[in-house]
Amino acid sequence: MALLPKKLRFWLFDTLSLKTMRYVEAVPRHKATGLVAEVYDMIVEDFFINGSLTSRSRVPSLLAAIWSAGRETALVDDRLDRTTKEAMTATLSGINDCPYCGDMLVSLVHAGDRHEDAARILNERENQIDDPLLRERLLWVRAVATSGAEAPLSLPFTEDELPEAIGALMALSDINRFSHIVMDGSPVKAPLGLDTAKAAALWIFGGELRATHISPLEPGRSLHLLPDAELPADLHWAESNPRIARTLAQWTAAVERQAQGIVPEATQRLVHARLQSWQNEKMPISRQWVETETEGLEGEARDIARFALLIAKASYQIDDRIIEAVLGDERDQERFIRILAWSTFTAARYFANHVARLAAAPEQEKRVA
């Protein structure tokens, strides 16, 4: 049961999320106009305002794109129920080292009345979850998302469920990486050694978010926010679900438009080539690998390529020096958001295609436990 009035509850969530935002500043809701205001209103109606979304608000189409992609893939009940997808993406957020996203999603699993499951995800004990299908799905996510891990032998999704499952993982993979840069940890803190205090706080937070789970969301409600676009060939795995395919196509087009003139073409070609040849192996502790992979580029083109490859392959190796090189002396927030959104989307796109290839592997037994 929610404890706070709706307006106070959502004001508190927004205020807490802004406390950890860095490098960029969100457009305040009371100053939002046009597309940003429309998206903010929809987020409030369907979900809750939070920094992982509003951090892109200085570039309206990128805010609309990530909201629509996340809403349509993860929040709408379709072939998969919402709480299952929130559990999957909570596990993913832990692997991607995004405490902000991880805590938010664990709280949403609580909001779906899966309290024991939420506690086990928080403590990375998915193998102890009682529900055999959810357990298999979360262990599958852990296997496909962990660099260097052995590929799973079975697929705990039907063909109809796959576009939604992979799409949700793609959206949150992007949000994880974006938030890793612009959100300085989770606003839910616990004193050292008092993990039970944090677990209790997330349970309470989940109670406040229970209101977001009461009514199923209308499928496709966000699809008018951006122009229609053609689904890229590499995202063909989404074709069997037209709604998922449409939002992914719109998201791709928005990111690519905003990257034009900002991310050099030579940088884009190099990053795509390096990701195509990467087999999701774990990267060395030293950052020398990224210096080697960006040889041949200079100046800004190399700074952005280094940034993008680290985001994709080893985001934990990014430090202030890497970020400051991309921010530049002008510290242009809109430019930085456009570069960061292209980098996180490119990483998420590679990851989704990696997952799709594993899901299509002929040696897998395609079944639902």
pLDDT of residue 15: 65
DSSP, collapsed to helix, strand or coil, labels residue 166 as helix
Residues paired with residue 155 on neighbouring β-strands, in sequence order: 366
- Say if residues 251 and 73 touch (Cβ distance below 8 Å): no
pTM: 0.93
Both tokens of 257, joined, read 């438009």
DSSP, collapsed to helix, strand or coil, labels residue 21 as strand
Output the CA angle 30-176-1, nearest 5 degrees. 60
Q: Give pLDDT tens digits for 33-92.
A: 999 999 999 999 999 888 999 999 999 999 999 999 999 999 999 999 999 999 999 999
Quote the strand ranges of 93-234, DSSP E: 154-155
Which residues of the chain are modeled with pLDDT < 50? Answer: 1-2, 192-193, 363, 365-369
pLDDT of residue 164: 98
pLDDT of residue 211: 81
- Say if residues 245 and 163 touch (Cβ distance below 8 Å): yes
Both tokens of 144, joined, read 């496909």
Which helix or strand (DSSP H or E) is residue 366 part of? strand 365-366
Residues 6+ apart with CB under 8 A from 224: none
d(CA 157, CA 154): 9
